[in-house]
Structure 1
Amino acid sequence: MIRSVITGTGSALPARRVSNAQLAEQVDTSDEWIVERTGIRFRHLAGPDETTGTLAYDASKAALAAAGCLAQDIELIVLATATPDQTFPSTATKVQAMLGIDDCVAFDVAAVCSGFLYAVQVADSMIRSGVAKRALVIGAETFSRILDWEDRTTCVLFGDGAGAIVLEAQDTPDEGGRGILTTKLHADGRHNELLYVDGGVSTTGTVGKLRMKGREVFRHAVTNLAAVMTESLAMAGVEASDVDWVVPHQANARILDATARKLGLAPERVVVTVDQHANTSAASVPLALDVAVRDGRIREGQIVVLEAMGGGFTWGAAVVRF
């Protein structure tokens, strides 16, 4: 059986690291208020010379080095972002050029915080169908560019960053083989007004700012994430007790805790980086995955569940034997 195997991970963060106390110097908030409601303590914010593309490039280089392959080995780049460098061309093609790849399939996908899961399924499908043997799948964001810094309910929640994985087609055993076992995606556009940006090319002609109704988003997130994780585990034929690690979208510590409880998962099996990075949207899952791989928690052969929910609403999960 041909499966898409994760052979390398990488991540990148802007140089500027901002604590809650530093943020409170310019926003009407406090460290206590932010930590109690979100669990966030720090975030990284992009400087003038740092963009979604440059962060994606740095994360991709790290993933390629970890996989032990050259940029020229990549035949497909799928980049998930809601904050591209330009309206067009895609940020994926900018990363392609920075990596020195003359020709490969390269495009962006837009599913906000679920974008990386959407990109994983797209790349996995293309690898299984024989379109590519090796792919770079990237989640990268500079959400600080679309925040309203006078709205303390939203601007404290987000940060910038990027994460990337190398996926490689490998002939693996049907039972016990490495690779992506299953992915499951959902979307429900009826909830647009709960989490959105109030601008766009064909509407206002401006970038706009992020708007969110946090209480309603929280309620939907806990319900939808628990459901899609249960659904994806059943599709993969994996019991929750067999899961070694859950790598969730890092939106809010309270959402992570509530989702784990709903599934009966021990908190120590959930990778948490939201305290250090805040919500980096499409970058948060691959960024957290890279952290847990590099510190030795996630090892080859373990069962890992990736999950996320974002504006749209979109949500999804993937079950991987690492």
Structure 2
Amino acid sequence: MIQSIIIGSGSYLPTIRIPNDHFLSRDFYGANGERLAKPNPDIVATLQKITEISERRYLEDDLMTSDMGYLAARDALNDASIDGESLDYIIVAHNFGDIRKDNIRVDTCPTLAARVKHKLGIANPYTVAYDLPFGCPGWVQGMIQANYYIRSGDAKRVMVIGAENLSRISDPHDMDSMIFSDGAGAVILEACETEEKVGIITHITRSDTLNHAHLLTMGPSYNPDFPDDTLFLKMNGRKLYEYAIKTVPPTVKACIDRAGLPLDHIKKVLIHQANAKMDHNILERLFHLYEQDRVPEDLMPMSIQKLGNNSVATVPILYDLVAKGKLGHHRFVPGEYALFASVGAGMNINVMVYRHPE
């Protein structure tokens, strides 16, 4: 039986660290165009309490999203000790393409995947490179697609990259801009012939567009005196939060049940780093669905506190940090199960259960 297992991972974290006090001098406005009356220290403190973000990473001025994707990809190839020429697919999940520091128009021609393949120097014309825009769940969806390629016999090795530069597409006058950050993560999946169930065991994806398509959109600055009509990333935070805590837990449960596993077999939950309060609430509600009250303390590693929310990059970066022992005591144990989940623009949700090979 052909199955897909992870043989290497990599990540790129920008070197520019932005602490919360960076925002104390900002002029924040609401969606109504009126300046927020709440003092900035209170705004920043409230954001940190809810999201747990104390600092985030911003991309260096001379780099773009494809550069981060390339650096994460190179790291993953080195980790797997393989030649990039052996890859059958390179899938790059992102939402805004390359964004220059001095010109934030979205640039996706050529695709970021083509740019990453070019930067890697891969000559193989049958290394198919394409982009996947799917909101924050893009990287998990890329893994699901890669799994299909491998299990069908169409591919032996697939690299899936999640890369995003949100700092340049965020409205500096919107307090939500404090949440967003930049980064990239990459994972390489390889075909494995075994009768034992390993690798990606099962998955599930849903798209709720009828009533929730516009919880994340693009819009002009909240500052009515902003000099131009540049479009920035905007989100309806309250409605998004309500959607996520209501919809993600039963979707996760459906995926675990589809795998035929009891909840206590899941030893790590790698969830999109959107908002720490939201992620904790999702996990608590999941346990309540199983009529359990206690969530193990070491179940859900978190990176948002120091890295912020870098969209599609959060889950692969989180995986790479744990896999390489760079996130406290968290480790992946051979034979154990991990769960990957994400929620974001669309609105889209996806979940997959993965078993680490013995």
Q: Given the two structures, how large is their TM-score scaled by the length of structure 1?
A: 0.93
- Cα displacement string for residues 217-251 of structure 1 (whole angstroms, at most 9, x for unaligned residues): 01111122211210111111111110010000000
1:189 corresponding residue in structure 2: 209
1:87-236 correspondence to structure 2 within 5 Å:
87-102=108-123, 103=125, 104-152=127-175, 154-174=176-196, 177-190=197-210, 191-198=212-219, 208-236=231-259
Q: Offset of 1:207 from its aligned partner?
A: 6.8
Give the one of 72, 78, 82 matched to 1:59.
72
Residues in 2 aligned to 1:106 and 1:131: alpha-carbon distance in whole angstroms: 14
- Distance verdict in 2 for CA 1:243–1:92, change over 3 Å: same
1:15-94 correspondence to structure 2 within 5 Å:
15-26=15-26, 28=28, 29-30=40-41, 31-85=44-98, 86-94=107-115
Aligned-partner SS, 2:302? coil
Aligned-partner SS, 1:269? coil
Q: Is 2:262 the counterpart of 1:242?
A: no
| Alignment-mate amino acid for residue 352 of structure 2 | A
Report if the CA contact (8 A) 1:9-1:67 is conserved. yes
- Cα displacement string for residues 242-270 of structure 1 (whole angstroms, at most 9, x for unaligned residues): 00100000000101110111122324200
Give the one of 308, 315, 318 matched to 1:288.
318
- Cα displacement string for residues 256-293 of structure 1 (whole angstroms, at most 9, x for unaligned residues): 11011112232420011111111110001101111111
- RMSD across aligned positions (CA): 1.5
| Alignment-mate amino acid for residue 349 of structure 2 | W
Which structure has greater helix proportion? 1
Aligned-partner SS, 1:297? coil
Residues in 1 aligned to 2:280 and 2:21: alpha-carbon distance in whole angstroms: 25
Q: Offset of 1:193 from its aligned partner?
A: 2.2
Structure 1 stretches of 5 or more lacking a match?
Answer: 200-205
Residues in 1 aligned to 2:48 and 2:116: alpha-carbon distance in whole angstroms: 35
Give the one of 247, 272, 276 matched to 2:306.
276
Aligned-partner SS, 2:189? strand
- State which drifts further: 111-120 or 24-33: 24-33
Residues in 2 aligned to 1:55 and 1:196: alpha-carbon distance in whole angstroms: 24
Residues in 2 aligned to 1:88 and 1:269: alpha-carbon distance in whole angstroms: 40
Residues in 2 aligned to 1:207 and 1:294: alpha-carbon distance in whole angstroms: 40
Residues in 2 aligned to 1:163 and 1:245: alpha-carbon distance in whole angstroms: 18
Q: Offset of 1:310 from its aligned partner?
A: 0.4
1:319 corresponding residue in structure 2: 353
Aligned-partner SS, 1:117? helix
- State which drifts further: 253-262 or 32-41: 32-41
Report if the CA contact (8 A) 1:293-1:299 is conserved. no
Aligned-partner SS, 1:268? coil
Structure 2 stretches of 5 or more lacking a match?
Answer: 29-39, 99-106, 221-228, 288-294
Aligned-partner SS, 1:283? helix
- Cα displacement string for residues 8-34 of structure 1 (whole angstroms, at most 9, x for unaligned residues): 111111111111112324355334222
- State which drifts further: 66-75 or 179-188: 66-75
Residues in 2 aligned to 1:267 and 1:216: alpha-carbon distance in whole angstroms: 28
Residues in 2 aligned to 1:238 and 1:189: alpha-carbon distance in whole angstroms: 30
Report if the CA contact (8 A) 1:195-1:311 is conserved. yes
* Bigger Cα Rg: 2
Q: Is 2:332 the counterpart of 1:302?
A: no
Report if the CA contact (8 A) 1:39-1:253 is conserved. yes
- Cα displacement string for residues 101-143 of structure 1 (whole angstroms, at most 9, x for unaligned residues): 1121110011111111111111111111122100100100001
- Distance verdict in 2 for CA 1:304–1:221, change over 3 Å: same
| Alignment-mate amino acid for residue 208 of structure 1 | L
Superposed structure 1 runs of 4+ greater than 4 Å apart: none
Aligned-partner SS, 1:26? coil
Report if the CA contact (8 A) 2:265-2:336 is conserved. no
Residues in 2 aligned to 1:158 and 1:19: alpha-carbon distance in whole angstroms: 12
- Distance verdict in 2 for CA 1:27–1:245, change over 3 Å: farther
| Alignment-mate amino acid for residue 23 of structure 1 | F
Q: Given the two structures, how large is their TM-score scaled by the length of structure 2?
A: 0.84
Report if the CA contact (8 A) 1:148-1:210 is conserved. yes
Residues in 2 aligned to 1:227 and 1:301: alpha-carbon distance in whole angstroms: 25
